[in-house]
Structure 1
């Protein structure tokens, strides 16, 4: 009996709908070392680490739907450099975050925002500064 979701898929699967999905897929493969291929006429299933992202042109949808995604990678700095080399715009250079991640942020030419992170340490919740701690 088939399950309610395909084997290997998570319950929530992001889908990005853009003009020119073929080149967005090439960008993602270059920056995130993703796997998968463009498929004309149907959503591509692109694998980044242990996650699947569906990418298509929307097959007639009127509006495109860029994404804002937080992606864990082995090395945030080198991934950030690959993104910039692939024509992404820097929104934040790599920096250590108070919650234990090293993170950068870029915007790709299709309007998607990517937060690129490497988890460096786990902090007890009581030790993570609140937003108001930074405003003081």
Structure 2
């Protein structure tokens, strides 16, 4: 992305807003994201880990100088039901089982063991999420 003077200020592959989750045991959260959402990226011991979920990056950091901070994220996946099952198998708690919303998403909601809430959705064919 560039500003009015055509200066580049967002690195390639990133968006203007990047979620950052701070937890105790970031390594395990990175493993959870890899298992449940097929995230790519690896745990980094000495800096924030960057994992890619679909087309988006999420930074994951160990608590230390920062206190743990949870997130509430809406994530589109190719199969809500399969992702829900993987999340539950990985220790997440059900908030909402998968259901069809009136606005065209098949959606569920889970909370991981760190307190992060994940609304997981797959749009119906031709559905507009707005």
Q: Which has the larger radius of gyration?
A: 1
1:70 maps to 2:74: yes
State the Cα deviation string for residues 75-117 of structure 1 (Å, max 9, x = none). 0000000000000000000000000000000000011000000
Q: Distance in 2 between matches of 1:103 and 1:28?
A: 18
1:115 maps to 2:104: no
- Specify the SS of the correspondent of 1:40: coil
Q: TM-score, normalising length from structure 1?
A: 0.86
Q: How does 1:1-136 map to 2 (within 5 A)?
A: 3-61=8-66, 63-120=67-124, 121-122=126-127
Runs of 4+, deviation exceeding 3 Å: none
Q: Distance in 2 between matches of 1:103 and 1:36?
A: 25
Q: Is the 8 A contact 2:75 2:119 kept in 1?
A: yes
**Aligned Cα root-mean-square deviation (Å):** 1.8
Structure 1 residues 97 and 20: CA distance shift in structure 2, 3 A: same
Q: Distance in 2 between matches of 1:124 and 1:59?
A: 38
Which segments of 5 or more consecutive residues in structure 1 lack a partner in the other structure?
A: 126-136
Which segments of 5 or more consecutive residues in structure 2 lack a partner in the other structure?
A: 1-5
Q: TM-score, normalising length from structure 2?
A: 0.90
